[in-house]
A and B are shown apart, each in its own frame.
Chain A
Amino acid sequence: MTTNSNIILEVKNLNVEFTTDDGVVHAVNNVSYTVERGKTLAIVGESGSGKSVSSLAIMGLLTGTNSNVTGEVFFNGKELIGADPEEVRKLRGDEMAMIFQDPLSALHPYYTIGDQLIEAVLVHNKISDEAARERAIEMLIKVGIPSVDQRIDEYPHQLSGGMRQRIMIAMALINGPELLIADEPTTALDVTVQAQILDLLRELQKEFGTAIVLITHDLGVVADLADEVLVMYGGSAVEHAGVRELFYEPQMPYTWGLLASLPQISVKKEQLDPIPGSPPSLLNLPNGCVFEPRCAFKNQVANNACIESFPELLEVSQNHEARCHLSEPQRLAIRIDRKIGKINK
């Protein structure tokens, strides 16, 4: 492991449960990962895989009386779970910030952009209103807002979707946080705007040295931005690897499915390859592997192991972990078969 000071965020055995009338929802189960300073970790998974909930838990934004967060989260070596909420609040927006999926609903409709940015500055800094406004203008210029002097006094509904997301980014980075959690930052945007926003994030990351936790279901975005990838399914981490390892040597049937479901322009196909079935109910998770009901390869594993037990997250190679009962030769064989199949098509 690298020296501790290089790690900005360390999550150990994070669990999030919600108590509902129907029972306990296990939204996040024993998720662990680390994020290094200035690096990007992508958390990938479909809706309901627990990727958003885990990051809200880290930010201390799950305050509903029905939620229960356990485990350990070290931010800059400081334990956040169970810490004084006031301490965590002071970190929020200052040392760790978050941007959200839909920038229109995430910005307050009744306040100007300037008001909302200045507020973010003033809550963590004892400076004058004028100085805060200067900071806001500076930041808006950095995120590429044209005619800032005019825009700063406009309301969110007067801007385009891409502009709004730039505002959100400006607001998140205005206090120079060390960690930015971006929850599907491009999902609600046009494809052309998506690329601009990703470029912007990359540039700002370079400039500020911010570590990013990028939550997405878009593997294109992952390939673009991430250093490391955590694949989540049914509230659990199922594969964790460097971005190259994940794309070139995926080790887990769910990851294979994700990669196969990507439309590829070089391959002519009549249909996309979706993963059959739907995600598991987080109310009663299966005893065995969470992915077993949808897995096409479970028959290759002896003794019904996939139904009986949930595989451990095991190291496959350096910087690469996966949860799967298939043996390594089996996985290799399947990957080769799939590649040949793809070429033949």
Chain B
Amino acid sequence: MFPYIVRRIFVMIFMLTLLSIVTFLLFNAVPTDPARLTCGKSCTPEIIAANRIRLGLDQPLLTQYLDWMKGIFVGRTYGTGSAAFECSKPCLGYSFRSGEEVTKLIVDAIPVTMYLASGAFILWMVVGISAGIVAAKHQGKWQDRTIMGISLVGYSLPVFFIGLLFLVFAIVRWNILPYPDYESPFDDPLAFFQTMLLPWVTLAILYSAYYARLTRSQILEIMGEDYIRTARAKGLPDRVVFRKHAFRAGLTPIVTSAGLDLAGLLGGAVITEYIFSLPGLGRVAIGAVTDYDLPTITAAVLVAAVFVIVANLIVDILYVAIDPRVRMT
């Protein structure tokens, strides 16, 4: 088991390195001069040239990449002499738009996205899996048909549609909830919940529908396995057969999906955050893209990708816990 995890971690480090190179190249693939983007309206060629040298954009690509990596791990200094300024680790550069440290932008946005993603995650796992179990237990009966029908509708509705529907009716028309105005749960828990409720539900509807279908099909497949017949031939009550034998075996694909879906959302639930004005990673990314704010874009991409890779690692480790056959390979 231990060598398996060590190997997984090595693979992860390799992937992260590869990823940082790709992200960095993205920065340079943009068809404008990054130095031009660093100064505002009253720009002169002199300022651009000075900025270029100060930000190290005159250096060869490899040097720039190494400087960037160095900034992330140990921090870096931009410029020289009296004009020098320190960017402490983990340094992802300065926003071209606001001049703020990108690291601060990201760090401020992460909790918002994390609350959004984890709240929705808990909601959809509970609702989706329970609905899937109920449907599977009553296969072909009205419970099954109702749940599958609803889930088909839920799965077909795009997030922006559900989100806008909620926004227009629950907030604007009927005033059930106040206009979304994000507050930290530690400062104002009530406002936090009032703001987050609809985004959570919006995301959860889509994913619950998917998890209900996934859980149902998994359980039905597993219930047809030979080892379930063996368990019943032993005289185990149906309840035990289901909970102990079928559920655990059906868990693997659910865990895989759950890990990756959660990671995807942690990278920024762009549409949901946008609709409900949540200052999360998705909003940061969208804002950065519209403004050609290259350091922020690369940072947002990097952070999202790290979430996905780490989630993959966690899923792999969970496999080991669930399926003893994986431990051997």
A residues bordering B, Cβ < 8 Å? 59, 61, 65, 89-94, 97-98, 100, 102, 105-110, 112, 119-120, 123-124, 155, 157-158, 168, 171-172
Cβ–Cβ contact B249 & A90, under 8 A: no
Query: What is the 8 Å Cβ interface bit string for chain B, positions 238-260, against chain A (1 contact, 0 not)?
Result: 00100011001100000000000
Bound state CA distance, A120 and B235, in angstroms?
8
- Partner of B227 from the list A94, A97, A109, A124 (CB cut-off 8 Å) is A109
- Partner of A61 from the list B227, B232, B325, B328 (CB cut-off 8 Å) is B232
Q: How far is the CB of A127 from chain B (nearest CB, A)?
A: 15
With A105-B225, A108-B249, A110-B322 given, name 15 new contacts (CB 8 A). Answer: A61-B232, A89-B235, A92-B233, A93-B235, A94-B235, A100-B233, A102-B226, A106-B229, A108-B245, A109-B323, A119-B236, A123-B236, A123-B240, A155-B325, A168-B230
The verdict on A110 contacting B229 (CB below 8 Å), with A93-B234, A94-B235, A120-B234 known, is no
Q: Which residue of B lies closest to A117 (CB)?
A: B234
Pairs across A and B, CB under 8 Å, 28 listed: A59-B233, A61-B232, A65-B140, A89-B237, A91-B235, A92-B232, A92-B235, A93-B234, A93-B235, A93-B236, A97-B233, A97-B234, A100-B226, A102-B226, A105-B227, A107-B230, A109-B249, A109-B323, A109-B325, A110-B248, A110-B249, A119-B234, A119-B244, A120-B234, A120-B235, A123-B234, A157-B324, A157-B325
Cβ–Cβ contact A107 & B233, under 8 A: no
Q: How far is the CB of A324 from chain B (nearest CB, A)?
A: 35
Q: Which residues of A contact B232 (CB under 8 A)?
A: 61, 92
Bound state CA distance, A170 and B322, in angstroms?
26
Q: Which residues of B contact A119 (CB under 8 A)?
A: 234, 236, 244
Q: Which 3 residue pairs spanning A and B have beta carbons closest together?
A: A93-B235, A92-B235, A93-B234
Q: Which residues of A contact B262 (CB under 8 A)?
A: none
Q: Which residues of B contact A65 (CB under 8 A)?
A: 140
Interface size class of B (residues with CB under 8 A): 20 to 34
**In this assembly, does B231 line the interface, its C-beta being within 8 Å of a C-beta of chain A?**
yes
Q: Which residue of B lies closest to A97 (CB)?
A: B233
Q: How far is the CB of A225 from chain B (nearest CB, A)?
A: 21
Bound state CA distance, A67 and B324, in angstroms?
35
Cβ–Cβ contact B323 & A106, under 8 A: no
Q: How far is the CB of B130 from chain A (nearest CB, A)?
A: 22
Q: Which residues of A contact B236 (CB under 8 A)?
A: 93, 119, 123
Q: How far is the CB of B104 from chain A (nearest CB, A)?
A: 46
Q: Which residue of B lies closest to A88 (CB)?
A: B235
Q: Which residue of A lies closest to B235 (CB)?
A: A93
Q: Which residue of A lies closest to B233 (CB)?
A: A98
Q: How far is the CB of B184 from chain A (nearest CB, A)?
A: 42
Q: Which residue of A lies closest to B237 (CB)?
A: A89
Q: Which residues of A contact B230 (CB under 8 A)?
A: 100, 106-108, 168, 171
